[in-house]
Amino acid sequence: MEEELVLDPQLKYWVLIPISVVMVLVGLLRSSFTALLSPGPKKTPYKKIRETQFLRRAECFRASNNVLDVNQMESRRNYFIEKLNSSEYYSEKISTDDTPKNPFTDSSTNDALMSMMKGNLLNYIPQSLIMAWVNFFFADFIVMKLPFPLTDGFKSMLQSGVATPDLNVRYVSAISWYFVNLLGLKPIYNLLGDNEAMSTILAQSQQTMPNIGGPGAPKVDKIFQGCAENIKLIKHESIFDGIASRVIDVYS
């Protein structure tokens, strides 16, 4: 049995609990800030919306055409093929020149980049602030003894700044309590009814790229024609075929 280190009990009340409280509060505050700063729905020209919605309607038709019977199916199929091959629903005239536009002159791209940057800043700033706060006020504190042993590999991380090379790894500094909190606060946020607070902190790495309409994006007429091809190729199977026997089968 090795010697116990006697820690001042005041450390618990003035280091451990404040760090936890601050982290919970900052998480909650951050999620409300994100809600405040997130821009409302952006206004798009109605023709653009009409184009995407028509495309989505065609896709929905393709996905769930089996609720139609044969007559309905055929009339809708003809309608969609006709409209998709005409240019009625295009949002703008198809330009023939193939010179790619500079993506940064497009205002929608800039907006997307801006909102992504805001989200990133809201993720990083509070975390680095808390970390700086912990490092500044509670530097080199041995605040607690962990209830489970760790290998010496954690020494450099959990006891950084502690100039006692032979100290048991179970005695850790304030910054490691910060890390334990960072990982473990998810259930607390869940119980406080704020699912946003944690999900974004830990999901920093999986930021999605904004939809930049760069030179790689396919032209709208190509998409429409592809969709029309797909609709042509649908093998229609109606759910009304043999429905009576199936219903009897289920309920008999």
Partner 1 sequence: MSKKRELIYYIPNIESNKKDLQYVHDVTSLTLGIGSGILTLESYKGFLLYIFGYTAVNLLFYFVCCNKKAASFFRKPFHEIFLEDILSDMPGFVMMWCLTYALVR
What would you report as the CA-atom Rg of the chain, rounded to the nearest whole angstrom?
A: 30
Scanning 38-46, 80-88, 93-101, 242-250 for contacts with partner 1 by CB under 8 A, the matching segment is 242-250
Scanning 54-62, 107-115, 122-130, 145-153 for contacts with partner 1 by CB under 8 A, the matching segment is 145-153
Nearer to partner 1, 190 or 207 (CB): 190
Give yes or no for residue 2 binding partner 1 (CB under 8 A).
no
Give yes or no for residue 147 binding partner 1 (CB under 8 A).
yes
CB of residue 148 vs partner 1: minimum separation in angstroms?
A: 5
Nearer to partner 1, 149 or 216 (CB): 149
Q: In the range 168-197, which residues lie near partner 1 by CB under 8 A?
A: 177, 180-181, 183-188, 190-191
Give yes or no for residue 236 binding partner 1 (CB under 8 A).
no
- Pattern 40-59, partner 1, x by CB under 8 A: --------------------
Give yes or no for residue 249 binding partner 1 (CB under 8 A).
yes
CB of residue 197 vs partner 1: minimum separation in angstroms?
A: 14
Give yes or no for residue 39 binding partner 1 (CB under 8 A).
no
Give yes or no for residue 242 binding partner 1 (CB under 8 A).
yes
Contact 168, 147 (CB under 8 A): no
Binding residue for partner 1, selected from 145, 219, 232, 236, defined by CB under 8 A:
145
Question: Could you say which DSSP state residue 5 is in?
Answer: P
**Cα(180)–Cα(161) distance, rounded to whole angstroms?**
18
SS3 143: strand
Q: Which residue blocks in the chain are alpha helix, DSSP H?
A: 10-11, 17-37, 46-63, 70-85, 107-137, 155-158, 174-184, 186-191, 195-202, 220-232, 243-251
Total residue count of the chain as it appears in this document: 252
Give yes or no for residue 201 binding partner 1 (CB under 8 A).
no
Contact 228, 81 (CB under 8 A): yes
CB of residue 195 vs partner 1: minimum separation in angstroms?
A: 9
3-state SS track over 156-222? HHHCCCCCCCCCCCCEEEHHHHHHHHHHHCHHHHHHCCCHHHHHHHHCCCCCCCCCCCCCCCCCHHH
Closest to 31 (Cα-Cα) out of 174, 228, 199? 199
Please state at what angle helix 70-85 crosses helix 220-232, rounded to 10 degrees.
Answer: 160
The residue ranges that bind partner 1 (CB under 8 A) are 12, 16, 20, 143-149, 177, 180-181, 183-188, 190-191, 242, 245-246, 249-250
